[in-house]
Amino acid sequence: MAEKDSVTFPLKLAYPFLAKNGYSSEMEKIRDSKEKLGSYDTTLKRARIVGLLQEKTLLERFIQEAWPDGGTPMGKHEIKRLNRIFARYQNVEHLVEVPDAEEGLAAEETAFAYEEHLRDFLAEHLDTLEKGLRLWPVGPDQEAVEYPVDGRRIDILAQDTTGIPVVIELKVSRGHERVVGQALYYRGKIKETFKVQRVRVFVVALKATEELRLAAKEVSDLTLFEYSLSMTVRRI
């Protein structure tokens, strides 16, 4: 499904494009890599390929010749997302400078980074939400983390011990009632995609507003979670 989603960066098109343009060895190194970044596997490959295309000044040509959706607003958002992941991979995300005129964007970038870290942690420790919970089984070119749905992405698609899909949505700050509508949309799409009668929804937020608590009570199979962060310092 991931490679069929036109907004998802298409590895199957990028690999031969790079080979055709004389970068077979660099492409093969990334394609065959077993590296992971948190919960990212295939997504890390996409991020590294985008980084390579940009380094070789081939990204715009790739978009023109092979991936026209890359020039749309959603495609640009996908490239931006992969750039953030590539920056994390290079461990230089803290060096990205944001102009003063984009202070609002700086806050958004920070929140995005926090959400990525929360998502990575939960994807690797799903038992903290429910015992026996595991990532939804996907194919070799797919990932259950940031699972693509009609140009959007479910933070985590999981499966409970009985095989029922679980849509997990994360909010790094206060969770508002509108997240319920978003989650119900995802639930409907997963039911439609996998031909199942039941899909559970987990919403994880730093703080659930009273409006969200009230809205959640009216929805079956929706569970709210609040998380907290802590730090331990020890002398060495």
Q: Give tens-digit pLDDT for 4-36.
A: 456 789 999 999 999 999 999 999 999 999 888
CATH number, domain with residue 167: 3.40.1350.10
Same domain, 90 and 133: no
Of 39 and 32, more confident? 32
Judge if 75 and 21 occupy the same domain: yes
Give the tens place of pLDDT for each residue, 102-118.
Answer: 444 444 444 445 677 78
In a domain, 82, yes or no: yes
83-108 burial: b if 16+ Cβ within 10 Å, else e: bbbbbbbeeebeeeeeeeeeeeeeee
Residue 173: per-residue pLDDT: 59
Residues 90 and 139 in one domain: no
Q: With respect to residue 202, please indicate whether it lies within any of the assigned structural domains.
A: yes
- In this structure, what token pair is assigned to residue 201? 């929804």
In a domain, 111, yes or no: no
Q: Are residues 77 and 153 in the same domain?
A: no
In a domain, 81, yes or no: yes
In a domain, 119, yes or no: no
The reply to whether 115 falls in a domain is no
Residue 217 lies in a domain: yes
Q: Are both 134 and 85 inside the same structural domain?
A: no
The answer to the question of residue 123 being in a domain is no
User: Are 144 and 71 part of one and the same domain?
Assistant: no
216 and 150 in a single domain? The answer is yes
Q: Could you tell me if 157 and 190 are in contact, meaning their C-beta atoms sit under 8 angstroms apart?
A: yes
Domain region containing 80: 11-95
Are the C-beta atoms of residues 201 and 183 closer than 8 Å to each other? yes
Q: How confident is the model at residue 126 (pLDDT cuts 50, 70, 90)?
A: very high
Do residue 51 and residue 141 come from a single domain? Answer: no
Q: Look at residues 95, 120, 147 and tell me which one is the last residue of a structural domain.
A: 95
Rounded Cα–Cα distance for residues 102 and 58 (Å): 28
Are residues 170 and 83 both part of a single domain?
A: no
**Bridge pairing between strands 145-149 and 152-159:** antiparallel
The verdict on 88 and 154 lying in the same domain is no
Q: Does position 3 have pLDDT exceeding 50, yes or no? A: no
Give residue 95's pLDDT: 36
Question: What is the number of structural domains in the chain?
Answer: 2
Report whether pLDDT(185) > 80: yes
